[in-house]
Amino acid sequence: MSRMGVFVCWCGANIAENVDCDEVARYAGTLPGVVIARSYKYMCSDPGQKIVTDAIEDLNLTGVVVASCSPRMHEPTFRKAATTVGLNAYMLEMANIREHCSWVHNNRHEATEKAKDLIRILVEKVKRNVPLKEIEVPVTQRVMVIGAGIAGIQAALDVASAGYEVALVERKPSIGGYMSLLDETFPTLDCSQCILTPRMVDVMQSDKITLHSFSEVEQVDGYIGNFKVKIRKKPRSVDMTKCTGCGDCWNNCMARNKITEPVRPALDDGISEDVMIKVDAILERYTDQAGMVIGILQDIQDEFNYLPEEALTYLSRKSDIPLSRLYGVARFYNAFSLTPRGKHIIRVCLGTACHLKGGPRIAEAIAHELGIESGETTEDGLFTLERVNCLGCCALAPVVEVNGTVHAGVTVGKIPSILAQYGYERECIQV
Amino acid sequence: MRTLRKNYSEAADQWEALQTSSVPVLYVGAATCGRAAGAGEVIERLQTEIRDRQIAAQVVEVGCLGLCCLEPLVVVHKPGSPQVCYGRVDTDRIVHILDRYVLGDDPCAEWALGTMTPGEVDSIGKFSEHPMMTGQVRHVLRNCGVIDPKDMSHYLARDGYRGFMKALELGPDKTLKEVKKAGLRGRGGAGFPTWQKWQFCRTASGEPKYVICNADEGDPGAFMDRSIMEGDPYSVLEGMAIGAYVIGAESGYIYVRGEYPLAIRNLSIAIEQSRALGLLGDNILDSGFSFDLEIVRGAGAFVCGEETALIASVQGDIGSPRQRPPYPAQAGLWGKPTNINNVETWSNVPAIILRGGKQFSGIGTKQSKGTKVFSLVGKVRNTGLVEVPMGTTMREIVYDIGGGPQKKRTFKAVQSGGPSGGCIPAPLLDLPIDFDKLQEAGAMMGSGGLIVMDDHTCMVDVAKYFLAFLVDESCGKCTACREGVAQMHNILVRICQGEGRDGDIELLEQLGTYVKDTSLCQLGGTAPNPVLSTLRYFRDEYEAHIHDKTCRAGVCKSLVRFAIDPDTCKGCGLCVRDCPTDAISGEKKEPHHIDADLCVQCGVCYEDCPFDAVLVE
Residues A112 and A150 in one domain: no
Structural domains in chain B plus CATH codes: 5-130 (3.40.30.10), 152-360 (3.40.50.11540), 371-454 (3.10.20.600), 459-548 (1.20.1440.230), 561-616 (3.30.70.20)
- Which stretches of A144-185 are DSSP H helices? 150-161
Output the 3-class SS for B28-40: EECCHHHHHCCHH
How far, in Å, CA of B274 to CA of A119, rounded?
A: 94
Residue B185's pLDDT band, with cuts at 50, 70 and 90, is very high
Q: Provide the domain count of chain A.
A: 4
Are A227 and A297 in a shared domain?
Answer: no
Cβ neighbours of A297 in B, within 8 Å:
299
- Crossing angle between the packed helical segments A71-84 and A46-59, to the nearest 10 degrees: 50
Q: Do A329 and B35 touch (CB under 8 A)?
A: no
Q: Do B604 and A412 touch (CB under 8 A)?
A: yes
User: How close does chain B come to A38, measured CA to CA in Å?
Assistant: 60
Q: What is the pLDDT of residue A291?
A: 72
CB contact under 8 A, B296 and A353: no
A240 belongs to a structural domain:
no
The verdict on A377 and A413 lying in the same domain is yes
Residue A353 has its nearest CB partner, among B217, B221, B473, at B221
- Mean pLDDT highest for which of A138-142, B99-103, B251-255? B251-255
A395/B301 CB distance under 8 A: no
CB atoms B472 and A389 under 8 Å: yes
A34 and A115 fall within a common domain: yes
Is the pLDDT assigned to residue A381 strictly greater than 50?
Answer: yes
Contacts of A405 in chain B (CB under 8 A): 35
Nearest Cβ partner of B578 from A291, A404, A412? A412
Q: Report CB contact under 8 Å: A408, B36.
A: yes
* Average pLDDT along chain A: 90
- Distance, CA of B289 to CA of B198 (rounded, Å): 17
Q: Mark whether A72 and A156 lie in a shared domain.
A: no
CATH number where A392 lies: 3.40.30.10
The Cα B108–Cα B177 span in angstroms is 50
**Nearest C-alpha neighbor of B140 from the set B350, B339, B444, B340:** B350
Q: Give the pLDDT of residue B574.
A: 86
Q: With 90 as the cut, is the pLDDT of residue B205 above it?
A: yes
Best mutation site among B253, B318, B338, B472 for testing chain A: the one with the most A CBs within 10 Å?
B318
Q: Are residues A176 and A112 in the same domain?
A: no
Q: Quick check: A356 and B378 CB within 8 A? A: yes
- Span B343-401, pLDDT tens digits: 999 999 999 999 999 999 999 999 899 999 999 999 999 999 999 999 999 999 999 99
Average pLDDT rounded to a whole number, residues B84-109: 91
Distances (CA, A) of B49 to B107, B450, B598: 19, 40, 50
Are B69 and A407 within 8 A, CB to CB?
Answer: no
Q: Is residue A425 one of the residues assigned to a domain?
A: no
What is the rounded CA–CA span in Å between residue B250 and residue B295?
15
pLDDT in tens, A220-264: 988 888 899 999 999 888 888 888 888 888 888 777 666 555 677
Q: Which residue of chain A is at minimal alpha-carbon distance from B467?
A: A352
Q: Does the residue A384 lie in any domain?
A: yes
- Residues of A within 8 A of B604 (CB-CB) are 358, 361, 411-412
A159 and A220 part of one domain: yes
Comparing C-alpha atoms, which of B137, B163, B584 is closest to residue B385? B137
Nearest CA in chain A to B318: A329
How far is the C-alpha of B375 from the C-alpha of B225, rounded, in Å? 10
Q: Do B220 and A396 touch (CB under 8 A)?
A: no
Give the pLDDT of residue B409.
Answer: 87
* Confidence band for A98, pLDDT divided at 50, 70 and 90: very high
Looking at beta carbons, which residues of chain A come within 8 Å of B470?
none
pLDDT score recorded for residue B381: 92
Distance CA A431, CA B143 (A): 57
Best-predicted range by mean pLDDT (A92-106, A177-191, A214-228): A92-106
**How confident is the model at residue B276, as a pLDDT?**
93
CA distances from B408 to A174, B84, B164, B380, B613 (A): 82, 32, 50, 11, 12
Is the pLDDT at A301 greater than 90, yes or no? yes
Residues B402-431: pLDDT tens digits? 999 988 889 999 998 888 888 889 988 888
Residues of A in Cβ contact (< 8 Å) with B379? 356-357
Selecting from B257, B378, B473 the residue whose C-beta is nearest the C-beta of A353 gives: B378
Beta strand ranges found along A17-141 (DSSP E): 34-40, 63-68, 92-96
pLDDT at A290: 64
Nearest to A336 among B222, B299, B472 (CB): B299
Single out the residue of A23, A27, A26, A21 nearest to residue A9, CA to CA: A21
Element (H, E) at B387: strand B384-389
pLDDT the model gives residue A1: 77
Q: Are residues A124 and A39 both part of a single domain? A: yes
CB contacts of A290 in chain B (<8 Å) are 316
In Å, how far is B409's CA from the nearest CA of chain A?
14
Domain-embedded: residue A248: no
**Is 50 exceeded by the pLDDT of residue A430?**
no
On whether both A89 and A189 belong to a single domain, the answer is no
Q: What is the pLDDT of residues B494-548, one digit of tens each?
A: 999 999 999 999 999 999 999 999 998 888 888 999 999 999 999 999 999 999 9
Q: Pick from A293, A389, A411: which is nearest to B316 by CB?
A: A293
Average pLDDT, stretch B598-609?
85
Nearest CA in chain B to A294: B316
How many C-beta neighbours within 10 Å does residue B578 have?
Answer: 20
Whether residues A118 and A182 fall in one domain: no
Tally C-beta pairs within 8 A across A and B. Answer: 169
Cα nearest neighbour of A330 on chain B:
B318
Mean pLDDT of B38-47: 93
Radius of gyration of chain A (CA): 39
Q: Considering only alpha carbons, which residue of chain A is nearest residue B578?
A: A413
> Do the beta carbons of residue B420 and residue B414 sit within 8 Å?
no
Q: For residues A62 and B226, what is the distance between their CA atoms, to the nearest angstrom?
A: 97
* β-pairing verdict for B58-62 and B25-29: parallel
The minimum CA-CA distance between B364 and chain A, rounded to whole Å, is 26
The pLDDT of residue B152 is 94
> Do the Cβ atoms of B318 and A352 come within 8 Å?
no
Residue A89 lies in a domain: yes
Lowest mean per-residue pLDDT among A46-60, A65-79, A280-294, B472-486? A280-294
Looking at residue B278, its pLDDT comes to 93
Does the structure show a pLDDT above 80 at A158? yes
Q: Over 60: is that where the pLDDT of A429 sits? A: no
Q: How far is it, in rounded angstroms, from Cα A131 to Cα A62?
A: 10
The model's confidence at residue B443, banded by pLDDT at 50, 70 and 90, is: low
CATH code where residue A159 lies? 3.50.50.60
Looking at the fold, whether A155 and A82 belong to one and the same domain comes out as no
Instruction: Please tell me whether residues A39 and A9 are part of one structural domain.
Output: yes
Mean local confidence (pLDDT), A272-286? 91
Residue A238 in any domain: the answer is: no
Residue of B nearest to A399 (CA): B36
d(CA A265, CA A152): 38
Contact B449 A335 (CB under 8 A): no
Q: Look at residue A217 and tell me if it is in a domain.
A: yes
What is the C-alpha to C-alpha distance for residues B49 and A188, in angstroms, rounded to an integer?
74
Residue A249 included in any domain: no
- What range defines the domain where residue A210 resides? 142-233
